[in-house]
Structure 1
Amino acid sequence: MASWLKALAYGVGGITGVGLAALVGFQERLVYVPVLPGLSRSYTVTPARLKLNYEDVWIRSSDGVRLHAWFLKHSPPVQGPTILFFQENAGNIAHRLEFVRAMMQRLHCNVFMLSYRGYGASDGSPSQHGITKDAQAALDHLSDRNDVDTSRIVIFGRSLGGAVGSALAWNNPDKVSALILENTFTSILDMAGVMVPFLKWFIGGSESKGPKVLNFLVRSPWRTFDLIGEIKQPILFLSGLQDELVPLSHMRTLYDKATEHNTRCLFVEFPDGMHMDTWVSGGDRYWRSIQLFLDQYVPQIAERELSFKNDHLESGILQ
């Protein structure tokens, strides 16, 4: 009996050891998936195929990595916001063009699509440290353009892109007007326990219970929960209630944390929305929710001036 228990203990220990070794050695491959199975890393389609007016943009991150992006310009030109779009972890920006085309048509906006390092035509290999630099380079580029209303730069991030966008908004309160998060996780630390259940006993985010003794092994923790409560800009949370990848509790947890110190937060649920298709299943209500949020918190210059005058007339300052 004792020998059997010893063998079982060694077996469990061996399996755990192999699992941890895999976590350490291959975690970037689990978090970042630039190439989908059966597809090439190169772009399978360009904006031109969808008859979108665009510009190929090449920029460099602060550590010198050469990055590719598409700047899609609404045609005819409009005074709408410019949305800095951050994609999910798998595939490249070409796979999001149908969504972005719908975004431009429905919201009358420009869209800047960045290829993270290691994705699409960008150089380098993905990591949290590197992608954070890439996002900053994209925002700096937009802020320097003379064909962008820099007072109306809005970040949109889905899943991993929400973590990227949250970090960028937190770092740039003066450059980012608003933040839109869709089906985003609280942290990769929490997602580790979702993807590999036994890891929840050893790895977890700030709000999770447990010893978290193996957190130090995670090189890309993406602690969105720790940042969301300090973001001052308006935040729109779009949650698909049929999300098959990120537990529904993650988005609600982020919203609850954000509203502790930020009154300009909205939470919208879509009963049929899955991780990637919330914008499809949400239909008109999806786009109306975003438009109303932008109208309220990122108005055009003329609207801002009118609001300013009305506020001061009511207070007697301009009478």
Structure 2
Amino acid sequence: MVSYVSALLYGVGGIVMAGMALLVAFQERLVYVPVLPGLTKSYSITPARLRLLYEDVWLRSSDGVRLHCWFIKFFPECRGPTILFFQENAGNIAHRLEMIRIMIQRLHCNVFMLSYRGYGASDGYPSQHGITKDAQAALDHLSQRTDIDTTRIVVFGRSLGGAVGALLAKNNPDKVAGLILENTFTSILDMAGVLLPFLKWFIGSSCSKGPKILNFLIRSPWSTIDVISQVKQPIVFLSGLQDEMVPPSHMEMLYAKAAAHNKECIFVEFPTGMHMDTWLAGGDHYWRTIQQFLDKDVPEKKENESHHIDREFEGR
């Protein structure tokens, strides 16, 4: 009996040690995938291929990393909403261009696409600390532009991009007018247990069970579940119920956590939406949902309203 228990303990210990070794060695490769298998790091197409009006933008993050972005406009003097788009973990911004083309057509908006460090033409290597700086650099750039309405900057994040966007919105309540999250995880800590189920007893976010004794191993926790309750701006949650990568329950938990503190939250489900194609599977309903969100929570200022504000300012 003693030998059986010892063997069991050794077995469990071996599994835990193997899990720890995998996390230490390969976690960045699981969280960040700048190059898709069989493809190169370079862009397969540019917005010009889709006849989109765009500008190459080069930025420096606060730690000096050189970043590449595309700023795509609906038309040259468009004063509609500007969507700051944060992509998923795999591939680069070129792989999202077809979706962005339709977004611009349907929403009559501008779109700013950031290549995270280590992705596309950007320098450096991805990390949570670094990408947080990259996102801030993109927002600061947009906030200083004179050719857009800087009061109508909306952050849109899908999957990893949702974690990036939620943190940026929380940190910049005066610069971000609204937040759109699609198929976003509660945290990388919880996703570790999804990818390697035996780890869920040892790794998890603040809302999960278990001792969480291995959390210290995660270098990019992206704990959106702890951030989302601090976001004050209006939020719309877009959840594909056939998501094969992030369990849809993660989006439900994020919404519940946010709605407990923020009355301006909307949760919309798309029954046939998968992780990458919810925008396509959702069809008109998907785009109408976002349009209604923008119309209600990020409305265009009336001309007489802006004149009234100007007169008030001049009278002070």
Report the TM range for the smaller structure's normalisation. over 0.9
Question: Hey, what does 1:184 align to over in structure 2?
Answer: 184
Letter in 2 for 1:230: Q
Does the aligned pair in 1 maintain the 2:79–2:147 contact within 8 Å?
Answer: no
- Under a length normalisation based on structure 2, what TM-score does the superposition of the two structures give? 0.94
Tell me how far apart the structure 1 counterparts of residues 50 and 274 of structure 2 sit (CA, whole Å). 25
Matched, 1:241 2:271: no
Question: Hey, what does 1:85 align to over in structure 2?
Answer: 85
Tell me how far apart the structure 1 counterparts of residues 63 and 110 of structure 2 sit (CA, whole Å). 27
Tell me how far apart the structure 1 counterparts of residues 131 and 227 of structure 2 sit (CA, whole Å). 16
Tell me how far apart the structure 2 counterparts of residues 116 and 136 of structure 1 sit (CA, whole Å). 11
Deviations 1:215-257 (A, max 9, x none): 1111100011111111110000001111111111111111111
Question: Hey, what does 1:268 align to over in structure 2?
Answer: 268
Does the aligned pair in 1 maintain the 2:78–2:148 contact within 8 Å?
Answer: no
Q: Post-superposition shift, 1:14?
A: 2.8
Equivalent residue pairs, number: 308
Tell me how far apart the structure 2 counterparts of residues 190 and 254 of structure 1 sit (CA, whole Å). 13
Tell me how far apart the structure 2 counterparts of residues 81 and 9 of structure 1 sit (CA, whole Å). 58
Question: Hey, what does 1:298 align to over in structure 2?
Answer: 298
Q: Post-superposition shift, 1:4?
A: 6.2
Letter in 2 for 1:290: I
Letter in 1 for 2:194: V
Q: Which runs of 5+ in 2 are unaligned?
A: 310-316
Matched, 1:28 2:12: no
Question: Hey, what does 1:256 align to over in structure 2?
Answer: 256
* SS of alignment partner, residue 242 of structure 1: coil
CA RMSD in angstroms comes to: 1.7
Tell me how far apart the structure 1 counterparts of residues 26 and 196 of structure 2 sit (CA, whole Å). 14
Does the aligned pair in 1 maintain the 2:74–2:108 contact within 8 Å?
Answer: yes
Deviations 1:182-232 (A, max 9, x none): 000111111111110011000001111111111111110001111111111
Letter in 2 for 1:247: P
Q: How does 1:51-70 map to 2 (within 5 A)?
A: 51-70=51-70
Q: Post-superposition shift, 1:28?
A: 0.8
Tell me how far apart the structure 1 counterparts of residues 9 and 39 of structure 2 sit (CA, whole Å). 42
Tell me how far apart the structure 2 counterparts of residues 304 and 163 of structure 1 sit (CA, whole Å). 38
Cα–Cα, structure 1 residues 109 and 8, in superposed 2: closer, same or farther, change >3 Å?
A: same
Letter in 2 for 1:213: I
Q: Post-superposition shift, 1:15?
A: 3.6
Question: Hey, what does 1:317 align to over in structure 2?
Answer: none
Does the aligned pair in 1 maintain the 2:19–2:199 contact within 8 Å?
Answer: no
Question: Hey, what does 2:135 align to over in structure 1?
Answer: 135
Question: Hey, what does 1:144 align to over in structure 2?
Answer: 144
Deviations 1:76-132 (A, max 9, x none): 643210000000000000000000000000000000000000000000000000000
Tell me how far apart the structure 2 counterparts of residues 142 and 84 of structure 1 sit (CA, whole Å). 9
Question: Hey, what does 1:281 align to over in structure 2?
Answer: 281
- Under a length normalisation based on structure 1, what TM-score does the superposition of the two structures give? 0.93
Tell me how far apart the structure 1 counterparts of residues 267 and 215 of structure 2 sit (CA, whole Å). 30
Q: Post-superposition shift, 1:18?
A: 2.2
* SS of alignment partner, residue 229 of structure 1: helix
Tell me how far apart the structure 2 counterparts of residues 10 and 250 of structure 1 sit (CA, whole Å). 33
Q: Post-superposition shift, 1:7?
A: 4.8
Tell me how far apart the structure 2 counterparts of residues 304 and 170 of structure 1 sit (CA, whole Å). 31
Letter in 1 for 2:229: G
Letter in 2 for 1:291: Q
Cα–Cα, structure 1 residues 43 and 79, in superposed 2: closer, same or farther, change >3 Å?
A: same
Question: Hey, what does 1:41 align to over in structure 2?
Answer: 41
Letter in 2 for 1:117: R
* SS of alignment partner, residue 148 of structure 2: coil
Question: Hey, what does 1:113 align to over in structure 2?
Answer: 113
Tell me how far apart the structure 2 counterparts of residues 304 and 196 of structure 1 sit (CA, whole Å). 57
Once the two structures are overlaid, the 10-residue window that deviates more, 19-28 or 115-124, is 19-28
Question: Hey, what does 1:315 align to over in structure 2?
Answer: none
Tell me how far apart the structure 1 counterparts of residues 288 and 118 of structure 2 sit (CA, whole Å). 34
Once the two structures are overlaid, the 10-residue window that deviates more, 256-265 or 173-182, is 256-265
Cα–Cα, structure 1 residues 295 and 303, in superposed 2: closer, same or farther, change >3 Å?
A: farther
Letter in 1 for 2:25: G
Tell me how far apart the structure 2 counterparts of residues 21 and 75 of structure 1 sit (CA, whole Å). 51
Q: Post-superposition shift, 1:304?
A: 9.2
Letter in 2 for 1:29: R
Tell me how far apart the structure 1 counterparts of residues 5 and 112 of structure 2 sit (CA, whole Å). 59
Q: Which runs of 5+ in 1 are unaligned?
A: 310-319
Matched, 1:156 2:150: no
Letter in 2 for 1:282: G
The percentage of aligned residue pairs carrying the same residue is 75
* SS of alignment partner, residue 230 of structure 2: coil
Question: Hey, what does 1:94 align to over in structure 2?
Answer: 94
Q: Post-superposition shift, 1:24?
A: 1.1
Q: Post-superposition shift, 1:169?
A: 0.1
